[in-house]
Amino acid sequence: MNLQLNNMNKLPVRTWSWLGINEVSLKENIPEITAYNKEPFKSGKTLPDSLILTDNLNSETLIASINTGMGEDAIKFVKEYKNSGISLRIPEGTKVKEPIYLDYRLEKDNSTVVDLNHIIAEENSEITVVLSYRSEEDETMFHSGVTYLYAGKNAVINLIQVQLLGDKANHLNNVCAKLDGGTIHYNQSELGSFKSISSVYADLSGDNSNMDISTIFFGDFNRSLDFNYVVNHIGKMTQSKITMNGALLDHSSKVFKGTLDFKKGASGSIGQERENTLLFSPKIRNISAPLILCAEENVEGKHAANSGKIDENKLFYMMSRGLDEISAKKLMIEAWFDPVISEIPFSFLRSDITEYVKRRLSHV
């Protein structure tokens, strides 16, 4: 199947075209999209009684009000070719104790996942949802997903996404959120695939809304990663935090576009973004475009982007304790990723991620 998606991950305010970061397109020959014939749901045979599977008109109206950041081509594609996904409504006051876990395994005879997810958390509710995507290393695979999130007043959504796809996979991931006084914690591990395109678009519409994004990423060989995060501060006293930690090796490339947009009326709001990238090769391409847009005076916005080699003093210290250089570098990268990995609620998944990273670091 020949796939072409244009104008994805558009930068809200265009910059010099020669940088090549204003938008991204994907033109690839992908496997034919058929039904996903495995059961991804790993949290038990049935959902907790407190949750509601929802496809009703009211939910669709709410979802339609949530803006997206990856672009119309990507959204239309997922809606047309959807072969998996989950739609949940967490009723008012409901606290779901156990995480909901969906594990997608892409294999030779099950080579595509196109998932459309809706998670609607009503006032004073709470839920944790874990989505993981994995594939065989030597097969061509494809994943494209859209996850809509709505957090009502004092609601909490913990969304954890883990991407461990193989070298011949293409991966598109689009998270779209609306917060009406709630909190969303988004924990993202972008560690695999040949091409990875990732978007987060969040409207902090209600007063006291809080969006917290923590991402780790890894690039090696000729892998390419494109991130586009946009957080719109609309309500009063809203807060956002974006933290990116990653490592780039060989000829890999990464583009990070992070935008904090303080709209008129968002007084008392605070937003911050920070990106830290370890560089292991002079041949990589690493571009960051942190933006702060402001139409309100009484706000606070901060951004920082740091890129560089491993601290030689730390490396020397570890080697003086008996580690060789390669082992010391691997240990430092694992420590770099640990704050995000440690937040994953399943020990077996944390172990799988650690082993995956170690395997990918075998040629460092």
Does some domain include residue 342? no
**pLDDT value of position 321:** 78
Q: How many domains does the chain have?
A: 1
The backbone torsions φ and ψ at residue 335, rounded to the nearest 5 degrees and listed phi first, read: -65, -35
Per the CB < 8 A criterion, the answer to whether 104 and 40 are in contact is: yes
Does some domain include residue 240? yes
- Residues with Cβ within 8 Å of 271's Cβ and at least 6 positions away in sequence, in order, are 231, 233, 239, 240, 241, 260, 262, 292, 299, 300, 301, 302
- Residues with Cβ within 8 Å of 211's Cβ and at least 6 positions away in sequence, in order, are 177, 179, 183, 184, 186, 202, 204, 231, 238, 239, 240, 241
Does some domain include residue 33? yes
Q: Taking phi first (over 0 means left), then psi (-120 to 50 degrees means alpha), and beta for anything else, what does residue 218 get?
A: beta
Does some domain include residue 334? no
pTM (2 decimals)? 0.94
**pLDDT value of position 327:** 79
**pLDDT value of position 26:** 94
**pLDDT value of position 54:** 58
**pLDDT value of position 138:** 77
Per the CB < 8 A criterion, the answer to whether 176 and 145 are in contact is: no
**pLDDT value of position 322:** 80
Does some domain include residue 243? yes
Does some domain include residue 210? yes
Question: Which pLDDT tens digits describe the chain residue by residue (364 residues)?
Answer: 999 999 999 999 998 888 889 999 999 999 999 999 888 887 655 567 667 665 544 577 888 889 999 999 999 999 999 999 998 999 999 999 899 999 999 998 899 999 999 999 999 999 999 999 999 777 899 999 999 999 999 999 999 999 999 999 999 999 999 999 999 999 999 999 999 999 999 999 999 999 999 999 999 999 999 999 999 999 999 999 999 999 999 999 999 999 999 999 999 999 999 999 999 888 999 999 999 999 999 999 999 878 777 777 777 777 887 888 777 877 888 888 999 999 999 999 999 998 898 888 776 6
Does some domain include residue 317? no
Burial readout 20-56 (b: 16 or more C-beta within 10 A, e: otherwise): ebbbbebeeebbebeebeeebeebeeeeeeebbebee
DSSP symbol at 84: B
The SS3 of residue 347 is helix
| Structure tokens, 169 | 């996979």
| Structure tokens, 282 | 């002079």
Residue 309 has a CB neighbour count (10 Å cut-off) of 11
Does some domain include residue 352? no
Instruction: Tell me the residue range of the domain where 178 lies.
Output: 2-310
| Structure tokens, 223 | 């892998």
Going by C-alpha positions, the residue among 17, 338, 55, 73 that lies closest to residue 199 is 73
Residue 193 has a CB neighbour count (10 Å cut-off) of 26
